[in-house]
A = this chain, B = another copy of it.
Amino acid sequence: MNDLNNNLPGVFSPVITPFNKDLSVDHKKLIQQCKWLLSQNVGLAVFGTNSEANSLSVDEKIFLLDKLIDHGIDPNKLMPGTGCCAITDTIKLTKHAVKHGCVGILMLPPFYYKAVSDDGLFNYFSNVIESVNDDRLRIYLYHIPPIAKVGISLKLIEALLRKYPQYIAGIKDSSGDWVNTQRMLDQNWDNFSIFAGSEAFLLQTLRNGGTGCISATANINPEGIHNLYKNWREPDADIYQEELNNLRSIVQSYPLIPALKAIISHYHKDTNWNILRPPLSAMNNADSEELIKKIKKINFSIKSLH
Contacts and interface: CB of A to CB of B under 8 A. Distances in A.
A58 B57 contact: yes
A88 B56 contact: yes
Contacts of A281: 117, 119-120, 123
A95 to B, nearest CB: 13
Contact of A87 (B121, B124, B277): B277
This chain: copies in complex: 2
Interface residues of A, number: 39
A216 to B, nearest CB: 13
Contacts of A58: 57-58
A147 B114 contact: yes
Interface stretch (A5-13, A31-39, A104-112, A293-301): A104-112
Interface in A92-128: 92, 109-114, 116-117, 119-121, 123-124, 126-127
A269 to B, nearest CB: 25
A280 interface: yes
A109 B279 contact: yes
Given A55-B110, A110-B55, A149-B149, A123 B279 contact: yes
Interface of A: 23, 49, 54-58, 60, 85-89, 92, 109-114, 116-117, 119-121, 123-124, 126-127, 146-150, 277-281
